[in-house]
């Protein structure tokens, strides 16, 4: 029997392929809302290390939400630092 999970998100990549992600966290930071995703089923690369994807949530005027990539490296770094502080008890997070 397949367990249904409400923490999974399906996104379409640049090749049109559907990719499943586990939602690790959603939070507000500096006036914006962000989501941190982990590729589902690819929890590490054999080294015990997993890479997360951080996206900004855009709440459209029509009521639809969009997930946007973060192009500003300073913003991305600040959001990741905030995520690390939020999750320091739950995950061991390594710096590159």
Judge whether 79 lies within some domain.
yes
Average pLDDT value for residue range 11-36: 93
pLDDT at 49: 62
Judge whether 3 lies within some domain.
no
Judge whether 1 lies within some domain.
no
Token pair 């997993």 is found at: 50
pLDDT at 1: 43
Which residues pair with residue 11 across a beta bridge? Answer: 19
Kind and range of the H or E run holding 77: helix 73-87
Judge whether 20 lies within some domain.
yes
Average pLDDT value for residue range 2-30: 86
Tokens of 46: 């054999």
Count of the separate structural domains present in the chain: 1
Judge whether 31 lies within some domain.
yes
Is the overall model pTM greater than 0.95, yes or no?
Answer: no
pLDDT tens-place string over residues 40-77: 876 555 565 678 899 999 988 888 889 999 999 999 99
Q: Give the range of the structural domain holding residue 72, as residue numbers without chain letter.
A: 8-93
């Amino acid at each position: 029997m397949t367990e249904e999970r409400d923490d999974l998100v399906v996104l379409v990549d640049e090749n049109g392929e559907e990719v499943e992600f586990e939602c690790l966290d959603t939070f507000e930071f500096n006036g914006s809302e962000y989501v941190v995703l982990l590729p589902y089923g690819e929890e590490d690369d054999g080294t015990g290390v997993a890479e997360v994807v951080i996206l900004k949530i855009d709440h459209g005027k029509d009521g639809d939400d969009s997930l946007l990539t973060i192009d500003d490296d300073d913003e991305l770094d600040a959001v990741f630092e905030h995520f690390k502080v939020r999750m320091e008890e739950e995950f061991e997070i390594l710096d590159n």
